[in-house]
């Protein structure tokens, strides 16, 4: 019994320690983003652009197909229910609002966490276990400045862009089902889409995507910089990074949704 309680306590303390480490990394990252350039020569834009290509441009195809087929499924499922009420034409508004508020930001973040977050952890983890990060420190080069900041900045820029693409792809999928399967007039479908899609739905989704980008980048970099145990440790850190990112994305989505849509009820 005592061993069981001790195991729980050890797990809780380890989790709290890691959460504290992530916040410390956030503080250091923000320092090197906003104050560091006035102290030392700013980073080359090339590093950020390379990460933008890897994290954003190379993720375009998978984000498009995931959200496109999600829009198709969402339209088909909602059409089945709305047909019983004679309201099939409102499939347009349902798909548009659902994609902009919820499905677009969350699905895009989960895809990027699985692809980019895992890659960040594996790359930095490999550098850590092969002592490349220690080599940077011996040359008076701050690892947070040279390794974390470019990845953090790139993801903060590219994830909202990918979210916009995901929203549009999902709406296109819903449009194809609504017009060619359900038989809704094309002009009517587009008109209903924009009639019910409010500006708040769009900007709240983008705010969510920025929050998700911070979560993915910070967890991926933290787990990578604290990897131990050789190749096996890299694999373990990558797995923990992806799982933790998924959990924190869903948790942050719950909190932000409550703030945006239910705080004034």
Q: Which two tokens stand for residue 200?
A: 């708040």
**Any domain includes 22:** no
Query: Could you tell me if residue 145 is inside a domain?
Result: yes
DSSP 139: T
Question: 39 in a domain, yes or no?
Answer: no
Eight-class DSSP state of 173 = H
What range defines the domain where residue 112 resides? Answer: 47-256
Is residue 15 domain-resident? no
Number of domains into which the chain is organized: 1
- The verdict on residue 27 lying in a domain is no
Q: pLDDT (tens digit, 9 = 90+) per residue, 234-256?
A: 999 999 999 999 999 999 999 99
pLDDT at position 43 is 65
Sign for the pseudo-dihedral over CA of 232, 235, 237, 243: negative
Q: In whole angstroms, what is the distance from residue 112 CA to residue 75 CA?
A: 24
**What pLDDT score does 110 carry?**
95
From the list 156, 174, 158, the residue with the least C-alpha distance to 218 is 156
**Both structure tokens of 19:** 């959460």
The reply to whether 13 falls in a domain is no
User: Which pTM value belongs to this model?
Assistant: 0.90
């Amino acid at each position: 019994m005592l061993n069981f309680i001790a195991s729980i306590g050890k797990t809780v303390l380890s989790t709290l320690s890691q959460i504290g480490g992530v916040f410390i990394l956030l503080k250091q990252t923000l320092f090197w983003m906003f104050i560091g350039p006035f102290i030392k020569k700013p980073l080359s834009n090339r590093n950020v652009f390379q990460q933008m290509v890897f994290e954003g441009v190379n993720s375009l195809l998978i984000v498009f197909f995931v959200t496109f087929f999600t829009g198709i499924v969402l339209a088909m499922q909602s059409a089945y229910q709305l047909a019983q009420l004679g309201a099939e034409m409102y499939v347009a508004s349902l798909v548009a609002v659902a994609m902009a508020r919820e499905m677009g930001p969350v699905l895009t973040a989960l895809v990027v966490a699985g692809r980019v977050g895992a890659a960040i952890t594996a790359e930095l983890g490999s550098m850590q276990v092969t002592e490349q990060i220690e080599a940077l420190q011996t040359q008076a080069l701050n690892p947070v400045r040279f390794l974390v900041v470019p990845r953090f900045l790139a993801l903060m820029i590219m994830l909202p862009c990918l979210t916009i693409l995901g929203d549009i792809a999902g709406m296109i999928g819903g449009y194809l089902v609504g017009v060619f399967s359900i038989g809704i007039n094309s002009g009517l479908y587009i008109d209903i889409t924009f009639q019910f899609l409010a500006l708040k739905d769009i900007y709240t989704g983008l705010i969510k995507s920025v929050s998700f980008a911070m979560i993915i980048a910070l967890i991926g970099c933290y787990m990578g910089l604290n990897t131990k145990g050789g190749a096996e440790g890299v694999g373990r850190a990558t797995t923990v990074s992806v799982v933790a990112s998924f959990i924190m994305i869903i948790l942050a989505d719950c909190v932000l949704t409550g703030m945006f849509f239910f705080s004034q009820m």
